[in-house]
Amino acid sequence: MSVSVDPRARLHWIRNVRRGLLARTSIIRRLEQQEWTTVQDLAYDVNLTAATILYHLHHMHSESIVEREAQGRRWGMGARHQASLADYLKPEKPRRKGESGSSKKTNTNPPKLSTRSRNRKRIRR
């Protein structure tokens, strides 16, 4: 039996093992049902230990998936700041000739190579 994994359960800074993905998915689904809940309630509902729940909550908190209540011991879903697809795909206004987007000068000189990379180029030629 295959269980679907919530995309928010995949984290950037830890290894995404199947067991952890399933645990985080069940935590996310539970937090979506109830706005704010404690670790003990989550542990009871998800059937994991409180330490395991806290481990995953802290990692998800570091990536702004969940939030901790300012006062108290409750956790809830975080506000994910995502742009809508329509805003992302909106075409930019065409620029007029000679107009640049920024007032900074662009560096037209190529970056200087270190002596080691210059020597490598000589050897390869």
User: Residue 11 is encoded by which pair of tokens?
Assistant: 């984290």
CA max distance for the chain: 68
Is the pTM of the predicted complex or chain greater than 0.75?
Answer: no
Cβ atoms within 10 A of the Cβ of 36, count? Answer: 15
pLDDT digits (tens, 9 = 90+) for 43-54: 999 999 999 999
Give per-residue pLDDT as tens, 67-77.
998 888 899 98
pLDDT: which is higher, 122 or 95:
95
> Where in the chain are the domains?
7-77
Residue 60: phi and psi, rounded to 5, are: -70, -30
How high is the pLDDT of residue 87?
A: 58
Which one of 3.40.228.10, 1.10.150.530, 1.10.10.10, 2.40.110.10 gives the CATH number of domain 7-77? 1.10.10.10
What residues have CB less than 8 Å from 17, skipping those under 6 apart?
A: none
pLDDT band at 122 (very low <50, low <70, confident <90, very high): low
